[in-house]
Amino acid sequence: MSSNVAIRAVGLSKCYQIYERPEDRLKQMVVPRVAKLFGRPGKNFFREFWALRGVDLTVERGETFGVIGRNGSGKSTLLQLVAGTLSPTEGTVETRGRIAAILELGSGFNPEFSGRENAVLNAGLYGLPPSMTKDRLPAIQAFADIGEFFDEPVKTYSSGMVVRLAFAVIAHVDAEILIIDEALAVGDAFFTQKCMRFLREFKQRGTIFFVSHDTQAIQSLCDRAALITGGQLTCIGDARMVTETYLENLYANQQVVALPNRTTKHESESDEPAIDYRQAVLEESDLRNDIRVFEFDLTSSGFGAGGAHIREVSLRDQTGERVNQVHGGEVVSIEVAIDALSRLERPIVGFYVKDRLGQNLFGDSTFLSFRARPQAVPQGGRLRAWFKFRMPTLPPGDYFVSLAVADGTQEDHVQHHWVHEALMFKSVTSSVSKGLIGIPMMDIQLRSDTTLIASSGSAFDQNIHYFNRTNET
């Protein structure tokens, strides 16, 4: 195997023998052997279940590779074969480098041992020398952050505490390949963020093999991904493309999707238009965030039940004119035209703006705004939707607008047409956006103990929040 390859599977398959009755196991041990003695063909008393079949896969060193699929598709079986805890029925799998894995909740832990004792035991199993394990125990304890439970038996732990301990160990054993199977799903939000920060740092020096149902985690963390369906590898490639294929297959079977559950206006909002004071400063400078808008052909894209079809999508300015370039900070609207191919009793239209990794940056839907007064559309009719907002400033890169039209309620509806890439924004230059997106700033203040150094916005008063820096020198 090439030194640049961390994991390679060729024709990898796993078959389980399923017995209907306990006595069939005994018959399987005896009858075929007796039949063979008399030169007769043996009879099998089991049925075969192929959890995985014919998987060919190569993961390069330093790559973060995701695996996604529905429950029972074979994802966990694949990870166990790669980790070496299962033996393949057919095919081969090779790995290069020290492997650390979280496969099943609590796997490898003795419930009678304390967290400290299990940490020492597991670190030894991963090949960490006792002297190094002793030196790293304080760091493992701090990462797990389970307090006095570190010295209590693991059988008293909650599922989240077990994951904390397991992840703390693999984070400190100098692994070259990390294998993680849905472990972060049971952790709390703060610990999940800690784990994600560790994984992003580990990406710089190691290989990650990652299984999750969280499409956002796959898209944001992984370089490539694979979709497993019914034990077979059905799609492999760019993480965003694979997760979108997974969503298409999932929603095609269920016809239910959670659209953004927000409304564009709240009762507490003032009718007075918001002023972006930073934008006023930028207008007088040479700083720009050029965002080009590209339209895609909607005639052959998307998926859904087919009762409606998104015919046209455009980005428009405040006057309603179609635009192909904005700078960020302007008030724009996404306009959607829909053909009703069947009667829509309670149509819902929604959108997401995503980055190149498929992360949802922002979005909204018509559900809450029109929940009390649904706009029924007869078969053959047309429906239009507008979403008006202030375009944020965007870091350089590609951005996509996903659109969907459904019929029903937020909790129970049929997805009629979903288009992943109805529009594309390409941000060419940006010297003002911080983070994933730049939002309008209502006011920015900077003040010393005696003098207002700089102010962007309205005059200082006691109702405005500002940064107060005391001059200590």
For residue 438, being part of any structural domain is answered with no
The CATH number of whichever domain residue 78 belongs to comes to 3.40.50.300
DSSP E strand boundaries for 331-390: 331-340, 347-355, 360-365, 382-390
Domain-ending residue, one of 254, 285, 306: 254
Q: Which region among 8-22, 270-284, 422-436 has the lowest average model confidence (pLDDT)? A: 270-284
For residue 200, being part of any structural domain is answered with yes
- Amino acid 114: pLDDT: 94
- Amino acid 160: pLDDT: 83
In a shared domain, residues 191 and 165: yes
In a shared domain, residues 372 and 241: no
For residue 173, being part of any structural domain is answered with yes
Q: How many domains does the chain have?
A: 3
For residue 210, being part of any structural domain is answered with yes
Whether residue 80 contacts residue 86, with contact meaning beta carbons closer than 8 Å, is answered with yes
In a shared domain, residues 197 and 116: yes
14 confidence band (pLDDT: 50, 70, 90): very high
pLDDT digit string (tens) for 90-104?
999 999 988 988 776
pLDDT digit string (tens) for 245-265?
888 887 665 544 444 444 444
pLDDT digit string (tens) for 156-172?
998 888 888 988 998 89
Highest mean pLDDT: which range of 150-159, 319-328, 409-418, 436-445: 150-159
For residue 437, being part of any structural domain is answered with no
List the domain range (segments joined by +) for residue 228: 5-254
In a shared domain, residues 201 and 343: no
Q: How far is CA 223 from CA 279, 380, 469, in A?
A: 35, 43, 43
In a shared domain, residues 243 and 286: no
Cα 83 from chain centre: 23
For residue 434, being part of any structural domain is answered with no
pLDDT over 90, % of the chain: 28
pLDDT digit string (tens) for 102-116?
776 666 789 999 999
Residue range 182-209: average pLDDT? 76
Q: What is the DSSP letter of 51?
A: E
Give me 384's structure tokens.
Answer: 């239009």
Spatial distance between the Cα atoms of 169 and 153, rounded to a whole number of angstroms: 16
In a shared domain, residues 111 and 200: yes
The CATH number of whichever domain residue 329 belongs to comes to 2.70.50.60
Domain-ending residue, one of 254, 289, 324: 254
For residue 436, being part of any structural domain is answered with no
Whether residue 311 contacts residue 335, with contact meaning beta carbons closer than 8 Å, is answered with no
In a shared domain, residues 164 and 246: yes
Q: How far apart are the first and last CA of the chain?
A: 63
- Amino acid 370: pLDDT: 83
Cα 256 from chain centre: 19
Q: Which region among 118-122, 164-168, 411-415 has the lowest average model confidence (pLDDT)? A: 411-415
In a shared domain, residues 420 and 448: no
Q: 217 versus 202: which is more confidently predicted? A: 202
In a shared domain, residues 160 and 73: yes
Q: Which residue has the tokens 């966990």?
A: 76
229: exposed, middle or buried (Cβ count in 10 Å: 0-12, 13-18, 19+): middle
How many CA atoms lie less than 13 Å away from 35 in the CB half-sphere? 11
Spatial distance between the Cα atoms of 355 and 353, rounded to a whole number of angstroms: 7
Please check the confidence at residue 15 and state whether its pLDDT lies above 90. yes
DSSP-based three-state secondary structure for 290: coil
In a shared domain, residues 212 and 285: no
In a shared domain, residues 118 and 64: yes
pLDDT digit string (tens) for 338-365?
999 999 999 999 998 888 767 788 888 9
The answer for 64, left when phi > 0, alpha when psi is -120 to 50, beta otherwise, is beta
- Amino acid 216: pLDDT: 74
pTM over 0.75: no
- Amino acid 270: pLDDT: 45
In a shared domain, residues 333 and 469: no
For residue 266, being part of any structural domain is answered with no
449 confidence band (pLDDT: 50, 70, 90): low
